[in-house]
Structure 1
Amino acid sequence: MIQFKDRRGHEFTPTAQSIVKKREGAFVIALHNNKVLLTYQKHAIDVPELPGGGIDEGENALEAAQREFEEETGIAFPSDLTADTDFDIHANFYADDVKEFWIYDQTYFLYTKGLAPLYFDGRKPAPEQGFKEWISIDKIDALGMHAIHKDILKKVIPS
């Protein structure tokens, strides 16, 4: 049986009655001065995550990542930014807030240049009833952040 992980890293197995669906998503990894921009959403305010989400019909992954970044952070995505790299992963994700199992193909866009105008200190409110914050990368291990996103950051950020 296929195992799915929720945002906290707990494993779940779907039953015959479970909703299982394919989903595509795109996310922004914004790194500036050894800090990464994270959001805290109302459905899991204790679990910081990378800005991003589902790809809407008619969008490509980059368009979705930039739209989701703006929606979740309230920060306009600069049109002149170019990703250092992008990469795809596959994740079996249990979305505990909606009780769905997602066979989730995700694209991540890493940005490390031109982010100074987006930087701020401390926590600031974010549009989706949460907040946003730049977190030092040396604190990532101690954070109870989104398990998939934490694994991605560990692979992307040099030790």
Structure 2
Amino acid sequence: MSHTVLALGIAALTACGCVWYLPAVADLQAGADRPRSMRTAAAACVLWWAGLAVAGGLLLALPDWQPAAQIALAGLVGGVLLRVRALRYRREEEREACARWAALDAGPVPRSPRGATVALAGWLLVGAAVASLGAASILLSGGGALAPRLVLAAASAAGVALAFLLVGLGNVRRQRR
């Protein structure tokens, strides 16, 4: 294969690699706004692609392929070393973040039985209000005899109050877990 064809292939590959090295360059330009691990990983990415681009240029300029291969290999090895360093930095940053979050943790929130009692009282109060409003609306509807309306009002009020009582008891049970 001709050096020119190989150099053109490397140039096309390097041009397609812009989706990796352009964001890496942006991370490097951001400086201290990015964590040290991210900057080091970005430097590794740029070094890999720069080594490949320089190797492609050397294939066009020099008749021998060995200098281009040496530059590409140097970029690869340097990039791998930087990437390993970035992984170490990342682990350190994660340990620091865990220590910071652990320092902020005050432990579980103590639960008092008073909160559950107040919640149950709230459910019962709202249930009684809804039940009495429903019973009043049935009684005041004025359709038919009074006895069936009284039975219907009492049954619906008891059903609504029972539903609110059950919901309140379930809420208390969940809070005590």
Whether the TM-score (by the shorter chain) exceeds 0.5 is no
TM-score under structure 2 length normalisation: 0.16
Quick check: which one's helix share is greater? 2
Quick check: which one's strand share is greater? 1
TM-score under structure 1 length normalisation: 0.18
Higher relative contact order by CA 8 Å / sep ≥ 6: 1 or 2?
1
